[in-house]
Amino acid sequence: MASGITTPGAKHYIGAVVNYILVVDDEPAIRNLVKEILEDEGYEVGVAEDGAEARRLRRCRRPDLILLDVWMPDVDGVTLLREWSEGGGLPCPVIVMSGHATVETAVEATRLGAYDFIEKPLSLAKLLLTVERALDAERLLRENAGLKRRSPSMLEPIGKSAVMHGLRDQVKRIARHESPVLITGEPGSGKQTFARFIHACGPRRDGPFVEVGVGSLSRERALTDLFGRERDGVIEYGLLEQANGGTLFIDELADLDLRTQVQLLAALESHSFSRVGSDGTLRLDVRVIAATLSALPAEVAAGRFREDLYYHLNVVPLVIPALREHPEDLPELLDFYVDQFVNHEGLPYRRLALAAQNRLRHYHWPGNIRELKNLVQRLLILATGEEIGPVEVESAIGARVRQPRRPPLPANISFELPLREARERFERAYLEHQLQEAGGSIGRLAVQVGMERTHLYRKLRALGIDPKKVAYGE
């Protein structure tokens, strides 16, 4: 069927981990030949002779791609596709193979999310090309999703100052190794940018970069979101499993609840974990980068953060300086964000006068680079001329500079209101102020206001408060 076909000996790695392909076919000759050819190409291959074995292997390890036959003795491939697509789509590209399928079968497989449909007898050259394109498409989808979440962003930290030169050199040295990194810095200073830069400079650069925003995890869902879940035959792949072969970035680390800290430490130490609701053990192969606003030793001393997890993650500490510590980088950062908003959001181009730039260099930037980005956007929207002068800059930043630390009660709270409405308005104003005082940290907020985090999350959602937008004045 495929003899005489020569294939290139290219190796297909995600960082230090080989792409894993699951081949499901009831014909031993086809199954073994496809396995042999794919392994020659550098892939790691698992094989299943029927649907039951396919289910078992998929539970044991998340595939990067599945080659699925339609006709099998116990269950047909379309039924498996339908089963796997429950709960939000297929977890990886699926290429369907069949020698006797109808047009209706091909249409149904495509509707259920199959990447492509290949007829038997197989052309191995076409099969390999389809596999490579499917994996490339999945990688691009993952990268594009990341870009949309964080908007167009800098590929590496910007700045020509001695501070930034030294920091980039330090990061490049750190990136060559697999040790955990703990990044600390003020809100908006660029911790996520440096985490991505470490990933991009390291051996896992072609693997996934998966971000865990601890502040957005509810206590009820934290374990499921991180470790995944199995229930009634449906598998949810958690963030740990999605990060295999790449980097796991844990943002707002100090906000992680103690129960999840215990589970995470066990997984990192043993390089294995179990999905919620499963007794099976899965291999974990990730590089961990964590970031925090808080001084974790103080959190450890207060009993809010486990000492053993702190030492496990704090192998290589990386401190990101505040923007006020390298103001000479301001012109380059301003140019970058002006170009970004003009090119990606269609805002009108306006140049900043030298006097305006000089005023910004002497501003203290409590919100750091995030505040600078928001300020540039505001100036481009509100300014009227081609040049932005110091008066417009002063107007944009003056309100924040003069803002009192303890604002008066909101004007919309009145004795004429019903008690429930008055209480809700006060609670919203109170929590927004406390969030600003806590620098956006839910953990600090919980301590300040004396509420358990689960109840606090519910309260914030009920009041329509977005912690990050409130913390940084967005």
- The token pair at 291 is 């970031």
Residue in this structure with the two tokens 């009227």, named with its chain if needed = 384
The confidence score (pLDDT) of residue 145 equals 55
Name the more confident of 406 and 205.
Answer: 205
The confidence score (pLDDT) of residue 470 equals 64
pLDDT at residue 2 tops 60: no
Distance CA 397, CA 164 (A): 25
The confidence score (pLDDT) of residue 152 equals 45
Say what percent of the chain tops pLDDT 70: 86
* Average confidence (pLDDT) over 409-434: 76
What pLDDT digit, counting tens, does each position of 321-356 carry?
999 999 999 999 999 999 999 988 889 999 999 999
Distance CA 126, CA 99 (A): 15
Using 50, 70 and 90 to split pLDDT, how confident is the model at 402? very low
pLDDT at residue 155 tops 90: no
pLDDT at residue 55 tops 60: yes
For 34, residues 6+ apart whose C-beta sits below 8 A from its C-beta are: 23, 25, 45, 67, 122, 124, 127
Q: Edge-to-edge strand order for the sheet containing 94-98?
A: 44-48, 20-24, 65-69, 94-98, 116-119
Distance CA 64, CA 41 (A): 15
What pLDDT digit, counting tens, does each position of 422-461 carry?
778 888 888 888 887 777 777 778 767 777 776 787 788 8
What pLDDT digit, counting tens, does each position of 350-400 carry?
999 999 999 998 899 988 999 999 999 989 988 788 899 998 998 888 645
For 368, residues 6+ apart whose C-beta sits below 8 A from its C-beta are: 186, 187, 188, 189, 190, 322, 323
* Average confidence (pLDDT) over 79-103: 82
pLDDT at residue 405 tops 70: no
Residue in this structure with the two tokens 């970035």, named with its chain if needed = 249
Which among 236, 267, 246 has a CA at the least distance from the CA of 19? 246
CB 269 within 8 A of CB 312: yes
Using 50, 70 and 90 to split pLDDT, how confident is the model at 205? confident
